[in-house]
């Protein structure tokens, strides 16, 4: 019996820029391009998301759940974040400060690791934005479905069945939402699984 092939469309593979313009204008351009092309699924620029999350159920005075239109933003953009290249030492590749809307990337990184670390911190920035909107939990399920559609059910099932692996990999502040998006970016940029997560985690994901 012939096995069915997963017919989900695969996104074209990108490649991490071989050189990065680290001037302030260069970083803003890179940041905006990555946000526009690779993070639309974490914002409300996708019409389907707007429809899915624009109505919430609220309990009225009689204890009955009634649908209420919620006031969602046009887009959960992180383009209001500032970017800085900072001396973070050798142990820290990047930092995301939600309160100050600030992403810092280590000056010591080569260009490839610089981009991977920027992607890592952009995921955290989006996590913070979704959390403020009260949508991070629901979004994890949406993103699981989106990543499955992009990369195939068999591949994603294998990734998520390795979340015994992920339990070992997980550090404070790295949620299922983070791992789903980081795996998505690894695959879309043709990186080793775990590259966007960084800090040597790619070595623990060999064979998945």
Copy the structure tokens of residue 40: 């639309």
Residue 177: the pLDDT is: 83
Q: Show pLDDT as tens, one digit a residue, over the chain (208 residues).
A: 333 333 334 444 566 667 889 998 999 999 999 998 898 888 776 666 666 666 666 778 888 877 776 666 555 678 889 999 999 887 889 999 988 999 999 999 999 889 999 999 999 998 888 887 777 777 777 788 888 888 888 877 777 766 545 554 555 667 778 888 988 998 888 888 888 887 766 656 656 6
Place of tokens 């920035």: 125
8 Å CB contact between 122 and 102:
no
- Integer Cα distance of 73 and 80 in angstroms: 14
Q: Measured on CA atoms in the order 205, 185, 167, 174, is the torsion positive or negative?
A: positive
| Most distant CA pair in the chain, distance | 61
């Amino acid at each position: 019996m012939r096995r069915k092939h997963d017919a989900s469309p695969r996104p074209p593979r990108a490649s991490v820029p071989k050189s990065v313009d680290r001037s302030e204008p260069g970083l803003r351009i890179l940041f905006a391009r990555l946000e526009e092309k690779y993070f639309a699924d974490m914002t409300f620029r996708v019409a389907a998301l707007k429809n899915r999350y624009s109505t919430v159920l609220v309990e009225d005075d009689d204890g009955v759940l009634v649908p209420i239109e919620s006031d969602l933003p046009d887009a959960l953009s992180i383009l209001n974040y500032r970017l800085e290249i900072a001396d973070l030492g050798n142990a820290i590749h990047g930092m995301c400060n939600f309160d100050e809307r600030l992403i810092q990337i280590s000056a010591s990184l080569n260009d490839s690791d610089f981009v991977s670390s920027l992607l890592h911190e952009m995921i955290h920035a989006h996590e913070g934005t979704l959390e403020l909107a009260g949508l991070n939990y629901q979004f994890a399920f949406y993103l699981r479905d989106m990543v499955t559609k992009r990369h195939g059910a068999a591949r994603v099932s294998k990734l998520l069945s390795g979340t015994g692996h992920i339990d070992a990999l997980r550090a404070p502040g790295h949620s299922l939402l983070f791992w789903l998006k980081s795996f998505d970016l690894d695959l879309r940029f043709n990186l080793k699984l775990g590259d966007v997560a960084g800090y040597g985690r790619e070595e623990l994901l060999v064979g998945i």
